[in-house]
Amino acid sequence: MSATALESLAQQACVRDAARLPAGEVDTLLAVLPGWQHVADRVAKTYRFAGWHETMAFVNAVAWIAERAGHHPDLSVHFNRCVVSYSTHDAGGITRNDLVCAARVERLFA
């Protein structure tokens, strides 16, 4: 992966009424997001942590990113891991907004 490509994706704006992306385009964009996977109509990654405090600190960082973007993930929160999953309900699948937000979450570790 290229840190520059990740940064470039993360810096894009989330837009209203984003269109559903073709699967091939999703997979091309996912190439710059290490560990993110295309599962059904979602993109998702499992992040692992030392324990509850670290997990919750991450959850709150993601919550802030979501609020700033106006685009919200689903989170599956456990003691030492969190699955972050993005999809765009209105588009019925994955839009560029989902990949942009995934890049912003991934950038927390860059």
Q: Which of 15, 56, 61, 108 binds a copy of itself (CB under 8 A)?
A: 56
Q: Which of 23, 52, 61, 90 binds a copy of itself (CB under 8 A)?
A: 52
Whose Cβ is closer to a copy of itself: residue 25's or residue 74's? 74
* Residue 67 touching a copy of itself (CB under 8 A): yes
Number of residues that bind a copy of itself (CB under 8 A): 15
* Residue 25 touching a copy of itself (CB under 8 A): no
Long-range contacts at 103-106 (CB < 8 A, ≥ 24 apart): 103/6, 103/7, 103/9, 103/10, 103/32, 103/33, 104/10, 104/65, 104/69, 105/45, 105/62, 105/65, 105/73, 106/6, 106/10, 106/33, 106/34, 106/36, 106/45
* Residue 66 touching a copy of itself (CB under 8 A): yes
Cα-atom radius of gyration of the chain, to the nearest Å? Answer: 13
* Residue 78 touching a copy of itself (CB under 8 A): yes
Whose Cβ is closer to a copy of itself: residue 1's or residue 108's? 108
Are 88 and 97 spatial neighbours (Cβ–Cβ below 8 Å)?
A: yes
Residues within the interface to a copy of itself (CB under 8 A): 52-53, 56, 59-60, 63, 66-67, 72, 74-79
